[in-house]
Amino acid sequence: MKILVIEDEKDLAEIIKEGLENQSFTVDLCFDGEDGLFMAENYAYDALILDIMLPVMDGLTLLEKLRVKKVTVPVLMLTARGTMTDKVKGLDTGADDYLVKPFEFPELISRLKAIIRRNRGVSSSVLSIDNLIIDMNSRSVKRNNNELKLSSKEYNILLHLALNRGRVISRASLAEHIYDIDFDLDSNIIDVYINYLRKKIDKGFNRKLIHTVRGEGYIMKEDQ
């Protein structure tokens, strides 16, 4: 899953980025509200981590502009203020949750995953498709009760397909969710990873789960 962190405290932003990447997230950073607004409007993210106190444009104004433009990406707001007024303002503006600094990193991860699940209409941290089981908390994958060893990139592609079960996902969308904005979209690396996944997920099973839609991308569904 891909996260945009908009935080002007660069040391903190880098700490958050490193921690999220250790949890198999892909992360882009912005350090002011104007750049953050541009990134959030023009690139696909699974969630934003948004500080309230930002230079150029504050977090609440940024969030309000996103919601006016019908950008529905889930937002976890960070604030150094612990007052009820600030929390209410953030939620009323369109934030999905908030976290007061300083915070414990496991709580940030837990809240982030929760708002992503809610946004996708997923009530559980465990996804099942046919006899494939994906546990988003432990990042474990099993098929027919056999645990599958996936690389971080393979897992992220599989999770993105599974969260969008039944929808065709383009190669560009998959690339955007596992690489930063400097990735070469003309690369065939996504096809390579899909081939790896098929060997691990579908090989030996009559019911295939990962399908190619020619000229459009890939879809995860039970083979009929």
Environment class of 10 (CB within 10 Å of its CB; exposed 0-12, middle 13-18, buried 19+):
exposed
The total of structural domains in the chain comes to 2
Kindly state whether residues 177 and 99 are assigned to the same domain: no
pLDDT value at residue 184: 63
Residue at a domain's end among 72, 101, 120: 120
Q: For residue 104, give its domain range.
A: 2-120
Confidence of residue 7 (pLDDT cuts 50, 70, 90): very high
Share above pLDDT 70 across residues of the chain, in percent, rounded to a whole number: 93
Kindly state whether residues 140 and 184 are assigned to the same domain: yes
The yes-or-no verdict on residue 224 having pLDDT over 60 is no
pLDDT value at residue 186: 63
The yes-or-no verdict on residue 172 having pLDDT over 70 is yes
Residue at a domain's end among 71, 89, 120: 120
- How much of the chain is helix, strand and coil, in % rounded to 5? 40, 20, 40
pLDDT value at residue 58: 93
Kindly state whether residues 132 and 206 are assigned to the same domain: yes
Contact 45, 3 (CB under 8 A): yes
Kindly state whether residues 55 and 153 are assigned to the same domain: no
Instruction: Kindly report, residue by residue over 93-137, the tens digit of the pLDDT.
Output: 889 998 888 889 999 998 998 898 888 777 677 888 889 999 887
pLDDT value at residue 206: 86
Kindly state whether residues 89 and 187 are assigned to the same domain: no
Confidence of residue 89 (pLDDT cuts 50, 70, 90): confident
CATH number at residue 53: 3.40.50.2300
Residue at a domain's end among 120, 146, 174: 120
> Average pLDDT of 24-41?
93
pLDDT value at residue 101: 86
> Average pLDDT of 156-161?
90
Burial 11-39 (b: 16+ CB within 10 A, else e): eebeebbeebeebbbbbbbbbbbebbbeb
pLDDT value at residue 165: 87
